[in-house]
Structure formats: structure tokens, C-alpha cells
Amino acid sequence: MNRILIVAEHAGGRLNAAIAKCVSCAATMPDGEITIAVLATDGAAVAQAAAAISGVTRVLLVDHPANEPALAAVLAPQVARLAEGHSHVLGPSTTFGKDLMPRVAALLDAAQVSDVMTVESAQRFRRLVYAGNAIVTVEAVGGRQIVATVRVASYQAAAAGGSAKVEAVKLDVALPAHTRFVSVTAARNDRPDLQTASRVVSGGRALGSAENFALIQRLADRIGAAIGASRAAVDAGYAPNELQVGQTGKIIAPELYIAIGISGAIQHLTGIKDARTIVAINKDAEAPIFEVADYGLVGDLFSLIPEIEKHL
């Protein structure tokens, strides 16, 4: 049997939507039993949300004052202890999971597979390399535990309706004091979340200024979309870093992705290749974004955005 432990990401008492996608990934492993570990300060609500994901057998809840806000150095030794008896330890390929899971893998002396997009067997996985220019199939050898991060854009969320039992666990693990949380910029809650939104409107360098980027916000609000940005737009200061879509930003899979004034560098395309429908608006008819767009519109964004709004 493959005993799979998934590390829950959560904030403000809410389970991150990426975890139900990790469950979907785990569920593709043969003969699996899925456990979710919730490391929190007061994690009862998060544990209940995890227990309600279909396919989950049990939830381990570790409440400790040091567990929030999450710090990889604090969580890793606890996850490594919980991992005893498990064949696989999974986390989402979010900044939380990318930070934590390799630290866990090193403590376990495990093999680590980053950004799993397909499970071929309990030991065999496919993942993207070279900024999405190649897919590699790897097989874990040597009988070690396997730590993996799950490329969440590759999976649909597992359904609700589960009723796993929640077990409170006390861990006797020394926690380091060498790493301390100071602050995090407050997340905006008045717009859909970029990583889970079904529609995303993104702006690029062609917007020209932070003021003009408001055009993207206006269109996004009009259709209930999340806002994204290209690396060029973030580098230029038109949009904050958390809106960056692409290889080093967020990798997303919305139903509708509208790229405005984005030329389509490979690093950006890697972040949107799983979008269902891609719309590109650009004044350069030769822009690479048109090679992947389902609908392309060549023209000046400053006149096209108001026109689109008129027809909506």
C-alpha cells in the first residue's frame, strides 16, 4: 500500500484550495491511503475542511503556537516526524510548498520530485523542465521515501463530501528559534484569487504605467476576473509581484485567460499553457502570444479595452 501524507497549506483559518488538487494527484497513485497533516496554531477549522475532501482517510492535526505564520524551518522537522510510515509526502507547488518540501526531503534523506504534472505509477512521475520546453519522466530508485510538490494547475480539485476522522497529535520535536516571522503584505480579498480564479485578465509592459494598469483592473472587475501581470509589467512596477504569471510567478489554469499587451515570452507561456481559452490582445501581429491564443485581436489596447467593455 502507498501511504501518502499531504501537508496542508492554510492561512487565516482557511485551507488553501491547492490542497484539494494535491488530493486529486495523490488519488491517481495505485493502492493509496491519503492522510492530510494540518500544522497550525488553532487548526480545528482547517482540519475539518481537510477532512471534508473526498478521498481523504484521516487528518492529523498538530496545534502548536509556533506553527503560524508558517515557517519552513519550524514546520519541516514536524512534517519529517509525521512522515514516518508514509511512502510519499506531498505538498502544493506554491511558494509555501516550494519552501518547505525540499527541507523535509533533506531531513528524510528522500528523493524529491518537484512540480509533478502526471503520476504514472507510485514511483514514476512526469514533470516540466527548461521552463516548460520539455517534459521529463523520472522514476524514484533505491526504495527511499518520495517527497513531491504537485503542480496544482495540472489537477482539478477533489470533490467535497468526505468525512475523514481528525486525530490531534502531539509531537515531541525540538523547534528552532533561529527563524522569526516579521510581516506579510496584506492580501486583498475584494477580487478573485489569481491562482484559483476561473477568469484572469493580465496586463503587460505595453500598459506603460501603473496608472494605465487600472484599465486591466477595470476590465477584470467587469467580468469578475482575477488580475495577472507579465514579468515585464511587475519589473517595471506597474503591478505587485504576487500578480506575476509565468515560470517564476504563478502557474495557473483558468477557464479564460485574457493577455493584454503581453508579447508572450516562453516564461510567461509556461504559466498559462493549461488555461482552457486564451485571448491575446496586442498591437504587434507577430507577437508569440498569438501562437498559443485561441482568439487573437491585433490593435491598440487603449482603444480596444473600452470597446470590449462597451460590448459586454
Partner 1 sequence: MRRVLVGIKRVIDYNVRVRVRPDGNGIVTDGVKMSINPFDEIALEEALRIRERGEADEVVAVSLGPDDTQQQLRTALAMGADRAILVRTDLAVEPPVVARVMQKLVERESPIIVILGKQAIDDDCNQVGQMLAALWDRPQATCASKIEIKGQTARVTREVDAGLETIEVDLPAVFTADLRLNEPRYVKLPDIMKAKKKPLDVTDLAAIGVAPTERLKVLRYEPPPQRQKGVMVKDAAELVAALRQKGLV
Site for partner 1 in 201-260 (CB under 8 A): 223, 231, 234-235, 240-242, 247-248, 250, 255-256
Binders in 21-50 for partner 1, by CB under 8 A? none
CB of 102 to partner 1, least distance (A): 4
Q: In the bound complex, what is the minimum distance in angstroms from residue 167's beta carbon to partner 1?
A: 26
Shortest Cβ 3–partner 1 spacing (Å)? 19
Closest separation between CB of residue 172 and partner 1, Å?
18
Please select the residue that binds partner 1; options are 40, 71, 82, 89, rule is CB under 8 A. Answer: 71
CA–CA distance, 200 with 223 (Å, rounded to integer): 9
Output 51 or 251, the one with its CB closest to partner 1: 251
Q: How far apart are CA 50 and CA 17, in angstroms?
A: 10
Q: Which of 31, 84, 85, 109 lies at the binding interface for partner 1 (CB under 8 A)?
A: 109
The size of the interface with partner 1 (CB under 8 A), counted in residues, is 88
Q: Under rule CB under 8 A, which residues in 125-184 are in contact with partner 1? A: 128-142, 144, 176, 178-184
Long-range contacts, stretch 243-252, CB < 8 angstroms, 24+ apart: 243/194, 245/194, 245/200, 245/202, 245/271, 245/272, 246/270, 246/271, 246/272, 247/131, 247/132, 247/271, 250/194, 250/195, 251/93, 251/151, 251/152, 251/153, 252/153, 252/194, 252/195, 252/197, 252/200, 252/228
What span, in angstroms and rounded, lies between the C-alpha atoms of 213 and 202?
10
* HSE-CB for 271 with a 13 A CA cutoff: 26
Window 267-296: residues binding partner 1 (CB under 8 A): 273, 277-279, 290-296
Q: Name the maximum alpha-carbon separation found in the chain.
A: 63
Asked whether position 297 contacts partner 1 by CB under 8 A, the answer is: yes
